Structure 1
Amino acid sequence: MPRSRTLQSRAFLNVAAEAPASAGPMHLIPGTSSLRQDCVAALEDRLQETARCVRSAGTVNPKKGSTVYVGSPGIAYAFLKLATIQTGDQKQASLDTAQKLLSPDVVEAGVEQARRHRSLGPSLLCGPAGLFVVQALLGWQQGLPFASQSAVFQGAVQSYKQYFDYAVHELDSDEWLYGRAGYLYGCLFLNFLAPGSVSEAKIKQLSMKMLESGEAYGRRTGASPLLYSWHDREYLGAAHGVMGIVYMLMLVEPIRTDPNAMRLVKGTLEWLLTLETKHHNWPAVRGETDDYLCHFCHGATGAVFAFGLGSIVFNNREFQKAALRAATCVWKYGLLKKGPGICHGISGSGYALLMAYKLTRDPIWLDRAADFALKMFDEKLQADSRVPDNPFSLFEGLSGAICFLVDLLKNPLKAAFPLFELGF
């Protein structure tokens, strides 16, 4: 029996989305932007329970799980995130767990994968480049306050940079999951941890290659100032498509100070506006009319980030309105049946709601993010949800939920979607 291709079929009914605006926040102290103590306590309990569950699951077979997306490195990232709100023995236990998950066997399996399939080398999510980003993060946290001098950090940075030339000159993809946009994020993140880890000249070279590639393809199609193809399909969303690529370009200082580059990026965002559907969603691929996917990887969830950052970079009110329309779609259709993950699960939807909160400082968006976090652990929703193929992983499973809960509890205004938004 074919799967139903509607927004409603992919998500649980969000009754709260039908409530009148006058109903007000559900989980905030009245008149504030602070979560109620009972909500905080419930979220802390869920976080501790989830961390115990993931830790007890043990490591992933290195030969099957050496990637950030579904393997041990992504789970390690979640425990490094968890350590940021811990102290003493608890913090050390999380750091030790992360180190165990990044064992020499895992690292070797990732490197060997790239030897067999060179195109996977620079992949942030599905190759060893992402593994080395997480290893650098481990070294950075272990070495504080002299993180940049950490031997683990320095070694991981050098290992990451070995894929630079291939990424620029030979890689045939510009998207985030496998391509240049993801590798660019890794460069920017390493500099976020320790400025100067990757030279500005290299970052400019890589980002200009992405710009030139998109401009050439856009010119051939006549569709948009920048356009990209992955496996012969012109994806629009954050994972494989133009939304994720232009988001990464907007993070790059040499791009933001280049008038021609900014003209191309702004024009591309304006073109994406014309593809918005009646649900304030976007099709997965150019030319399609179906808009049944409301995930981070495809659809409105990624649009919140692309238009949200665009509204800041260009000081553009129309882009902010588009981001908030997309966030409203996420609020209505984001209680996804695919589980708690960040790529196509409820935690990813929650991060989009936090992005709306950061854009507006309107506490209603924080309230909605907290509501998703609580509903994610509702027993009935869990019973009726699909069990992810990799239930403990960062992008499909509970490790993504750990990151979302940490950001919600720590400082929602500095929340950062793992390995996409620049922050930690």
Structure 2
Amino acid sequence: MSEQRAFKNPYPDYTGPGCAQDFFDMQGNLTQHFANCISSKISELLAVMENGLKNADPRDCTGYTGWAGIALLYLHLHSIFGDFSFLQKALDYVSHSLRSLTQRWVTFLCGDAGPLAVAAVVYHRLQKPHEAEESRFAFDSLFDLIMRLFQICDAVLDSGQNLSQKNKIQEQTPLMYEWYQEEYVGAAHGLSGIYYYLMQPGFVVGEDRVYHLVKPSVNYMCQLRFPSGNYPPWVGDSRDLLVHWCHGSPGVIYMLIQAFKVFGVRQYLEEALHCGEVIWQRGLLKKGYGLCHGAAGNAYGFLALYKITQDPKHLYRACMFADWCMNYGKHGCRTPDTPLSLFEGMAGTIYFLADLLQPTRAKFPAFEV
């Protein structure tokens, strides 16, 4: 079944510096030729994207599938290339997004928080402090009931403990969460994404609670791993099918790497390396080239492994997935519902290609800290 969801990986695996010399040097710097190829493909895809956006949904303000996501892409391109025209594009698209806020949803990816946050950064870079403050105040008003990060963390931990106790599984895992009555595992709206953030130093969870609540919950997550190294989309699902950032190893990998950083337990890194093998074998998805469930999003797992291990094998694998993405549209992939968007479509692929130009600074957009 898994073979029906992914293409067979046509690339030879890393065997040593010789096989990577056309892509990067011993220090991990991309060769000029490969960097030029990436930059050229970015320009080509941007032209296609811009033309297609003329027919995009004018009401979709979101970062996930709408105008804020396109603005975030151009903000990223400005960071990578330093071209002011990219910043102006970001302003144009985030302005479009602000005119169509949902006035209902407050989440970052699918609600109003994302457009407002992107707008604040765009205005700041353009040295427009008044507009930046307006976006900041609007963003603050969305969270008038939860004004501090400490309170957010408290609420998240309380919720997780309550569900664990309700389900009588507190001896297995002190924390549990559900979304639409399913105990999802993946990074997008599941356990691994929640634990990844709870382990961040910037979150004021507290060392004691990290060790006594989060760590055993991460250990419980590790027990869900399939023999293949992949993870189920939700607790109790025995089907080893999905290798996406949203469901499966490509998203769980970030939790495991962060657990290794925080607790220093080598086993977490070993588990993350297993995830990398799953991505290499099954990560060229027939769903497409996007971030949420596509080759570009899966490739970020290799970059995360490269940053923590400095093993050139992982950078090489990311370059091979980039080569796949640079042949955009030539593999017979399915067309996403929003084919130009940041998380489902072409904008996300462009974002990844730009990130690969500076691999040690690459971060999965709107997720990785």
The normalised TM-score by structure 2 is 0.93
Offset at residue 22 of structure 1 (A): 5.8
Kindly indicate whether the alpha-carbon contact (under 8 Å) linking 1:281 and 1:326 is maintained by their aligned counterparts in 2.
yes
Number of the residue aligned with 1:414: 361
Number of the residue aligned with 2:57: 61
1:353 and 2:302 correspond: yes
Distance in 1, matches of 2:230 and 2:25, equals: 32
Kindly indicate whether the alpha-carbon contact (under 8 Å) linking 1:342 and 1:401 is maintained by their aligned counterparts in 2.
yes
Number of the residue aligned with 1:194: none
Letter of the 1:296 counterpart: W
1:162 and 2:108 correspond: no
Number of the residue aligned with 1:331: 280
Letter of the 1:421 counterpart: E
Distance in 2, matches of 1:406 and 1:140, equals: 22
Offset at residue 230 of structure 1 (A): 0.6
Aligned residues: 364
SS of residue matched to 1:327: helix
Kindly indicate whether the alpha-carbon contact (under 8 Å) linking 2:149 and 2:204 is maintained by their aligned counterparts in 1.
no
Offset at residue 215 of structure 1 (A): 1.3
1:106 and 2:97 correspond: yes
Distance in 1, matches of 2:210 and 2:271, equals: 22
- Pick the aligned partner of 1:150 from 129, 139, 142: 129
Moved more, 361-370 or 21-30: 21-30
Number of the residue aligned with 1:232: 181
Offset at residue 9 of structure 1 (A): 1.4
CA shift digits 1:313-363 (9 cap, x unpaired): 112211111111111111111111112211001110111110010110111
Offset at residue 254 of structure 1 (A): 5.0
- Pick the aligned partner of 1:391 from 312, 321, 339: 339
1:95 and 2:87 correspond: yes
Distance in 1, matches of 2:25 and 2:81, equals: 28
1:135 and 2:119 correspond: yes
1:46 and 2:41 correspond: yes
Number of the residue aligned with 1:317: 266
SS of residue matched to 2:219: helix
Unaligned 5+ segments in structure 2 are: none
Moved more, 211-220 or 230-239: 211-220
Q: For the structure 1 residues 154 and 33, does the alpha-carbon distance in structure 2 shift closer, same or farther, using more than 3 Å as the test?
A: same
1:286 and 2:235 correspond: yes
Letter of the 2:250 counterpart: T
Kindly indicate whether the alpha-carbon contact (under 8 Å) linking 2:189 and 2:246 is maintained by their aligned counterparts in 1.
yes
CA shift digits 1:88-107 (9 cap, x unpaired): xxx2221121111122x532
Number of the residue aligned with 1:208: 154
Number of the residue aligned with 1:81: 76
Offset at residue 20 of structure 1 (A): 7.2
Distance in 2, matches of 1:24 and 1:7, equals: 32
- Pick the aligned partner of 1:220 from 166, 170, 191: 166
Structure-to-structure mapping, 1:262-301, within 5 angstroms: 262-301=211-250
Letter of the 1:394 counterpart: L
Unaligned 5+ segments in structure 1 are: 1-5, 144-148, 169-200
Kindly indicate whether the alpha-carbon contact (under 8 Å) linking 1:339 and 1:382 is maintained by their aligned counterparts in 2.
no
Moved more, 19-28 or 222-231: 19-28
